[in-house]
Amino acid sequence: QVQLVESGGGLVQAGGSLRLSCTASGIRFGICDMAWYRQVPGKQRELVAAVASVGTIDYVDFVKGRFTISRDNSKNTVYLQMSSLKPEDTAVYYCNAKYFDANYWGRGTQVTVSS
């Protein structure tokens, strides 16, 4: 059974930092393309950052220079280091794994940035 478990969310003041982690099990992590998405109530889930199995990294414009995605295949874990956080970064952050034709999601972790 595939599981993605996120951790590291919480409440932080604007300008602060958080590091999210997502640990995968039941999957060949090293060949998965991994990504972080976020969602606020009433809006669609949106891509934040992605790291492919081969190491290619992409960011959406609104996090470039502030967020860093990385992966540790020895720990089956993908990270999202978030810095210079803004109130508009408040959302539930979800881990995503693309494994062959399948798409897997974690349950999400809440990030709240106070002004």
Residue pLDDT tens, the chain, 115 long: 999 999 999 999 999 999 999 999 999 999 999 999 999 999 999 999 999 999 999 999 999 999 999 999 999 999 999 999 999 999 999 999 999 899 999 999 999 999 9
Asked if residues 49 and 61 have their Cβ atoms less than 8 Å apart, the reply is: no
CA distance 111 to 11: 6
- Which three-class secondary structure state does DSSP give residue 85? coil
For residue 50, what are its two tokens? 């992605």
